[in-house]
Structure 1
């Protein structure tokens, strides 16, 4: 089996926002903000935890589902004890869901890139510990962004995704995917049970977990995912 870097195209200079590419990267000497939750130009929410000054933190970009909000996405992960030490960035989609799903990469990629640049300027972030997580439409988007930007997102956490549509491939992120066997919104047979083999065939490392339930993220599933990321 070939690895993703062997099987997939090399970076091209013309790749950009319309391909889903992000340019933001952790800053070399960022200024650490005071702990708290910040609104970034009304486009995203950033939660900075209490940490030792200068100690690099893990950062998770958290994406809401269709019709959701940045506040919901932030609360979804921040209320979990295992996420207490994480820097969390929750962007708000421009439309009711993410650009890739309603018309193609563009405005949400630009918004996320700007939010990431500000987050990296406000917090000391470990470049090896940047993850992207999402539920439902947000999970479809994180699979796509993860494959596209695996040189930034080393870990992808997808909860009940529907599909993925990367245009380009960079890096070799690892994936944690979960799905409820009774999901009637995004049925497991046509979604994760198709996506997981596809990713594995392309050479990606995928940890996959099915659970008894519907279109949801049970607390124990979330806890397992966050611990898996931390232990990795």
Structure 2
């Protein structure tokens, strides 16, 4: 589906009261890649899955990089605000609850989800970040208030693409700004193993229960 600035897929919720999952794919994937993950994490949730606009040798990405592991931070910032605008327009156009949007991102998608938390702190209720790095490389993020946000992170200690120290730095940055962060490390690489998926599903179930009680 085109419109609202991004090619995207939208699946409405099967029932009222659940989250809207903003699915953000990794490098080389597209808007269909994480639909199965979204259904596994929150059966019946609304799924909003856009496609990154940047092409790197034909591979879809969310922002440019200068080389492997080195981000174009100015582009990270610009693309993050562009994505946030799409989310706001999509939520309004479809009558979704803006307080229920939870990002789910893998790798490059997790990086722009993290950037969204740091640059647009009022947009997301929370985020599940798999194989994420601190996105604003070399820059100290502003001291925004993330006290209303909950974040799950899955990170591999043997990840050759996103070193574990990057995940730990991001967890620290988010925690210092008030976010409730759960970092689940695993001994693998750039992947989403079953134990991490189970942990993320448990976290998301708890987030939904906390939202309803609040």
The answer to whether TM tops 0.5 is: yes
1:109 and 1:129 mapped to 2: Cα distance? 19
Q: Where do residues 30-45 of structure 1 align in structure 2 (5 Å cutoff)?
A: 39-41=1-3, 43-45=7-9
Is 1:182 matched up with 2:158?
yes
2:51 and 2:143 mapped to 1: Cα distance? 24
Matching residue of 1:105: 77
Q: Structure 1 220/116 Cα, relative in aligned 2: closer, same or farther at 3 Å?
A: farther
2:17 and 2:104 mapped to 1: Cα distance? 20
Is 1:89 matched up with 2:84?
no
Matching residue of 1:28: none
1:65 and 1:168 mapped to 2: Cα distance? 27
Contact 2:104 2:129 survives alignment (8 Å): yes
SS at match of 1:71: coil
Q: Where do residues 13-92 of structure 1 align in structure 2 (5 Å cutoff)?
A: 39-41=1-3, 43-51=7-15, 55-78=16-39, 80=40, 82-92=41-51
1:198 and 1:115 mapped to 2: Cα distance? 23
CA deviations over 1:87-132 (Å, ceiling 9, x no partner):
111111111321374434335643552354234432543x432211
**Structure 1 residues not aligned, in runs of 5+:** 1-38
1:49 and 1:205 mapped to 2: Cα distance? 26
Question: Of the two structures, which has the highest relative contact order with CA contacts closer than 8 Å and spacing of 6 or more?
Answer: 1
SS at match of 2:52: coil
1:120 and 1:218 mapped to 2: Cα distance? 35
2:146 and 2:34 mapped to 1: Cα distance? 26
1:108 and 1:201 mapped to 2: Cα distance? 21
2:158 and 2:182 mapped to 1: Cα distance? 20
TM-score norm. by structure 2 comes to 0.75
SS at match of 2:164: coil
Deviation (angstroms), 1:74? 2.3
Higher helix share: 2
SS at match of 2:155: strand
- Tell me the matched-pair count: 187
How well do the aligned residues superpose, as a CA RMSD in angstroms? 2.4
